[in-house]
A and B are shown apart, each in its own frame.
Chain A
Amino acid sequence: MEKKKPSTVKNSLYFLRIIWHTCPSSIFVHFIVFLEYGMWVFNSVIFMQYLFGANTENRSFGEILTFIWFATILSIIVNIFYSWRWKNAFPKMLANLTYGLSSKLFKKAQTVDISCYENPDFYNTYTRAVGVVSRNAREFLNHFSVFFASLFAAIYVIIVMVKITPWALLFIAFPMVGNIVFGKKIGKINYDINQENTSANRKADYVNRVAFLRNYAGELRVTNIFSVLKNAFINAVDESVVNDRKHATKRFCFDMLRSISQFVIGYEGMWLCAAILAINGTINLSQLVVLLNSIGAVSWMLRNFESSLTGLYTDSLFIENLKTFLNFEPKIDESKGGLTPPKKIETIELKNVSFKYDEKKDYVIKNISFTLRAGVRHAFVGVNGSGKSTLVKLLLRFYDPQEGQILLNGVNIKEFDIKKYRELIGAAFQDFAIFSATVAENVMLKPIYNDDEKTIAVQALKDSDAYKKIETLPNKEDSILTREFDDDGIELSGGERQKIAIARAFAKCSPVVILDEPSSALDPIAEHQMFETILRLCKKDKKLSVIVSHRMSSAAVCEKIFVFENGSLVEEGSHKQLLQNNGVYALLFNKQAKNYQTEVYDAYEGL
């Protein structure tokens, strides 16, 4: 994707508008920072000016006392207000802001193409923005409010100081210029060091993770691999020290210049100047105190101003990514309505379908045509990488093919309402996900409101051979899966999890069932049970089923088998026909079957 330099002003306004529409209170809460800066100016300038002007202005003790107590009461009120802000308004605002922004993005996330998740470039830059939006919004609002508050406060203090003596400008400007000029150089050096350390840091992080991750525990104990990782860690740490050392002298010089211009010239210089003026009698005592106090305040205000400005620049990069995500126009628009698909499915037909994931890459599906029929069990077979799983994604309309069409009962599936179309298909994926929800909800893939739905879920669990295990759990099908946020949650084994995924396909009671590599973690009995269920559903309910597998036994029981190689359909037919063809299928089958066939033959002979 081509990147233009984003406009900070435009992006800030864009984000502000979104925040305004989702959670306007968050803007108000952040702008309380104006009060903070106001009090700062009051305490360090006005308060001091008044008290230490008592002599020159001939104030009575009574007047001073009144002013002190006025300031005290003001401070009390403001502090109570702050308590409310930090302990009540702010946390609530955060909850609402997170809710508002994230909900908006969730909605969008559900309509973008699956490719937004599967294409790493797009995913890492844009989709991940969804996860961090509320944190970034908070930072942005912080920068935005501080930007204005510190600017106004600094301008006020500068005017007060310059009115006393124009020399003040010198001691304000010099540290500021020094800070900007040297700060920029230091920033550049730090950025360079950071860049140079990227790979070292990633290595160290990786070793750190692997050392404590459960999955690696076995291998770390029975092999010597940890010595490799340990060396990698030590090297990574040493490497970053070396990188840092290369820049040390240069950075030291700039650090010194910046600090001296800021502290020695800024503070001591201003104070000396003020002392000379006061001793000369050019300024009076209260003006002296104002100058002594203000230089500290104004230098901090300017520093905050500068860092909020830098912050806004950084935020702008994030906002640009967010904007791209929110404005992303999906190729497959899930919110666009369409025809309601028929309840009864006769055929699904692929006509000259070709597909590639990326325009620049090669076709992974090459001119494939075939027909799937209701009441028939179909199998997709082929070696790893032959295009089987991609075909499943096309059938589910996760992607649309570049060429050719997919027809349901003769109608292009693009014509249908996509949500209703997917309701026709019960699917179990190779890389299925288990949600942190009850077993029944995991099977139904939706919140469960009544017992009927639960009965369906339980039946599906029985069909996939999972219920034997689920039955033994204290809360049975109402048990929460995973320990994500429930410490009593259930962690199932790989085989059990796979059975739950298969149950999903059955529970949907849909006319089409697609199982992608359903049996890799199943024992033979569970596998058998699964095939029995599919057979029953196909025969009795006239369902259309597709099994993707590289276990040839899974294919052999299906009526119609499609064999793929490098994205092309190379053979199709029944098991018998294909064996007679003596082609790719026969080769694969015989390799796997050899051991079984001779044995069964022997076994029967033995009987």
Chain B
Amino acid sequence: MKDYKPQHNTFSNVWFAFKCHFKAAPCYTVFTLLQTILGDLITLFEHVFLPAHIISCVEKKSPISEVLVFLIPIALAVILKVGLTHIVGNYIAPKSLAKINKYIHLNLYEKAVSMDIAKYDDSKYYNDYVWAMEYSTWHLDQAVNQSRQFISNIVVALVSGSYVVSVDIRALIALLIVAAINLTANIILNKIDMKQWEELMPIWRKRNYSNRVFYLSYFVKDLRMGKMNERLEKDFSECRDVINSTTDRYFKKFLPFELLNYPLHDIVLKGVYLSYLFYQAFVNKLYGFGMLYGIYNAVRNINDKIINSMRIFPELQWDSKNIDKIRVFLDAKNEILDDGTSKISSSGDIELENVHFTYPGNDTPTINGISMKINQGEKIALVGFNGAGKSTLIKLILRLYDVNSGVVKFDGRPIADYPLQKYRGVFSTLFQDFQTIAATIAQNITMDNSELDVDKAHNSLEMAAFKQKFDTLPKGFETQLTKEFDDNGVNLSGGEAQKLAVARVLYANKNIIILDEPSSALDPLAEYQLNKTVTELAGEKTVIIISHRLSTTRFVDKIYMLENGQIVESGNHDVLLKQNGKYSKMFKLQAEKYR
């Protein structure tokens, strides 16, 4: 995968994450920040200054009360710290996190559902921006957590820093040297690491793919019938070799900076600085052991905070990249403008005038100058080979895409004049790749939150030939479909699901019905029933049907034969047959087998 170039800088993205959290749960966001800082400061006093004080007291042979003067407040502070942590953790965090979770996700969902469908076709865009949303939200939380820790680290380092400076300014010099070296080395090491990661990413993808093929049931039959395993095993072992050699190659690049990093840090902080401290304490008798312990550990504490903060950096960069995708996703402008205001009637003529359309990223047009008029109440069929443009035409009529040139009109007006949702609401559509939703049968029929009209639903199921199956389901309309989140859910077979999808369309009772390949998975009896239903959908309803099975389409008022995005023949069945053209040839090819 190519490297992703973010559109905003890391700081701006982290700030965005904070804003999201703040908008959803302001008190919680501020409070947790303060709580983290307070907690870390208490830890500093508990683990650095308290032991140092104890050692000093022992050295001075002070009474135990002097130890207690420091120890009791610290113990109380620690109790306060854990108390706060657990109160927030148990009583406040779950609610606030849920608020944040809902705020972020619902915003993303709204955007996803209203986004141009064309954005889903661009595979790169889809993977980077749409599909990435499934897991990117985690990075918003992560960025907030990480930067909260970062801020707290700085505060703690400043506090222990001022203690060290107040005793011995030279410690600060040692510390700054180490920090500068560590920082430089780490930045370079991170860069090399990122590069290596990018280089290995495709290898891992390949390796994971082979891995998946061997355990996913989807592949097993074809795997057993051939020798594809040889290729996969070869790929798999090549991946191992590439990872090994890449690792070795990069190790040579890492090594000089690795050598600079920790060993130097050891020499300065452990060797030089500690020697100096002992010299001051031992030879110059400047401080006692308590002081020595305090200074040494304070310096180590600052150093730990610096190292920890440096580890946060690359992680923040990583989060930032993903947050960037969220922002680009949310900022994306739709090309299909939803600014129509005209009032829409529930039915009307559909008219296409010299329509051209090319899918984004394609060279050849899919629809190449189509004009047609579908009168109110007319039943028409679109037929033709795979890839002739039939399904695309449907998508243009539904305004899932906007035409490149020409115009689509509904009820005499360009469809862009109507509010988008209202316009699409005029149609009831069965898509070729219709989906069964993991919800009850009732919801799969109504497709919204409204109350199910039981009589109407029974009627629709009957007409769609799903009644027989339906009667075997003990929970009736409340049956949960798919095993997605209910182990007792019912999985429908391909044919059954298609029948249910037909019922869905019938139940919606819209004046315009679109059926894209409604009978591909149906057995002959169900198909017969469907044909009957379509013909019985009396007078006033408009029906647009796409089918490869010409038996399904023969009863319609007008058939359009499409080829390469153009209408090559049109007319009713008898007319087209008499023309003896492409439709007639196609029909006879199918029909001769039924003679």
Contacts and interface: CB of A to CB of B under 8 A. Distances in A.
Interface in B83-104: 83, 85-87, 89-91, 94-95, 98, 101-102
A187 interface: no
Interface size class of A (residues with CB under 8 A): 35 or more
A55 B281 CA distance: 11
A136 interface: no
Interface stretch (A146-154, A305-313, A354-362, A551-559): A551-559
Given A98-B240, A222-B424, A422-B225, A80 B215 contact: no
Given A288-B55, A396-B225, A595-B531, A447 B234 contact: yes
Contacts of B590: 524, 527, 553, 596
Contacts of A275: 54, 57-58, 64, 67, 71
Interface stretch (B167-175, B343-351, B403-411, B436-444): B436-444
Contacts of A202: 484-485
A384 B493 contact: yes
B270 A71 contact: yes
B217 A118 contact: yes
Contact of A600 (B79, B224, B237, B595): B595
A447 B120 contact: no
B199 interface: no
A446 B225 contact: no
Contacts of A396: 221, 224-225
A423 to B, nearest CB: 9
A224 B448 contact: yes
Contacts of A603: 577, 584, 588
A530 B94 CA distance: 60
Contacts of A550: 522-524
Given A68-B271, A106-B214, A267-B46, A523 B386 contact: yes
Given A95-B244, A223-B447, A275-B67, A493 B209 contact: no
B145 to A, nearest CB: 19
A76 B217 contact: no
B3 interface: no
Contact of A68 (B243, B278, B439, B588): B278
A346 interface: no
A600 B592 CA distance: 8
A211 B223 CA distance: 33
B473 interface: no
A397 B278 CA distance: 81
B2 interface: yes
Interface string B223-267: 111111111111011011001100110110011001101110011
B22 interface: no
A427 B225 contact: yes
A580 interface: no
A226 B86 contact: no
Interface stretch (A252-260, A316-324, A336-344): A252-260
Interface string A352-375: 000000000000000000000000
A131 B255 contact: no
A444 B226 contact: yes
B180 interface: no
Interface in B76-132: 78-79, 82-83, 85-87, 89-91, 94-95, 98, 101-102, 105-106, 108-109, 112-114, 117, 120, 123-124, 126, 130-131
Contact of A51 (B243, B278, B437): B278
Interface stretch (A4-12, A163-171, A236-244): A236-244
Contact of A271 (B62, B71, B435): B71
B94 A244 contact: yes
A64 B282 contact: yes
Contacts of B47: 267, 296
B59 interface: yes
B400 A268 contact: no
Contacts of A487: 1-2, 123-124
Listed residue (B213, B234, B386, B400) with the most chain A CB atoms within 10 angstroms of its CB: B386
A574 interface: no
Contacts of A431: 218, 221
B231 A592 contact: no
A14 interface: no
A240 B97 CA distance: 11
B293 interface: yes
Nearest to B230: A447
B77 to A, nearest CB: 10
A208 B105 CA distance: 8
Interface stretch (B25-33, B150-158, B425-433): B425-433
B500 to A, nearest CB: 13
A279 B64 contact: yes
A396 B214 CA distance: 19
A234 interface: yes
A174 interface: no
Contacts of B429: 218, 222
Contacts of B55: 285, 288-289, 292
A16 interface: no
A524 B583 CA distance: 11
B454 to A, nearest CB: 18
Contacts of B384: 523
Interface size class of B (residues with CB under 8 A): 35 or more
Contacts of B225: 396, 422, 425, 427, 445, 504
Contacts of B206: 485
A432 B82 CA distance: 58
B541 interface: no
Contacts of B447: 219, 223-225, 228
A220 interface: yes
B95 A241 contact: yes
B467 to A, nearest CB: 15
A240 to B, nearest CB: 7
A87 B254 contact: yes
Contacts of A230: 106, 109
Nearest to A432: B222
A429 B131 CA distance: 30
A443 B51 CA distance: 74
Interface string A380-424: 000111000000000010100000000000000000000000100
A521 B589 CA distance: 17
A46 interface: no
B44 interface: no
B278 to A, nearest CB: 6
Given A72-B266, A493-B387, A87 B485 contact: no
Interface in A289-317: 289, 292-293, 296
Contacts of A61: 278-279, 282-283
A125 interface: no
A479 interface: no
A356 to B, nearest CB: 18
A383 B78 contact: no
Contact of B437 (A65, A229, A493, A556): A229
Listed residue (A80, A234, A271) with the most chain B CB atoms within 10 angstroms of its CB: A271
B520 A496 contact: no
Interface stretch (A137-145, A434-442, A456-464, A534-542): A434-442
A240 B102 CA distance: 12
A211 B113 CA distance: 7
Given A227-B449, A591-B525, A553 B593 contact: yes
A444 B228 CA distance: 9
Contacts of A251: 90
Interface in B504-545: 508, 520-525, 527-528, 531
15 contacts: A68-B271, A106-B233, A203-B485, A223-B448, A225-B443, A230-B106, A260-B79, A288-B55, A296-B47, A431-B218, A435-B222, A441-B228, A496-B386, A504-B226, A606-B577
Leading 4 A-B pairs by shortest Cβ distance? A445-B226, A553-B593, A202-B485, A224-B448
Given A240-B94, A268-B74, A525-B385, 17 more contacts: A75-B266, A80-B258, A82-B262, A87-B258, A105-B214, A110-B214, A130-B214, A210-B437, A210-B438, A220-B113, A229-B439, A240-B98, A279-B61, A435-B213, A592-B594, A603-B577, A606-B578
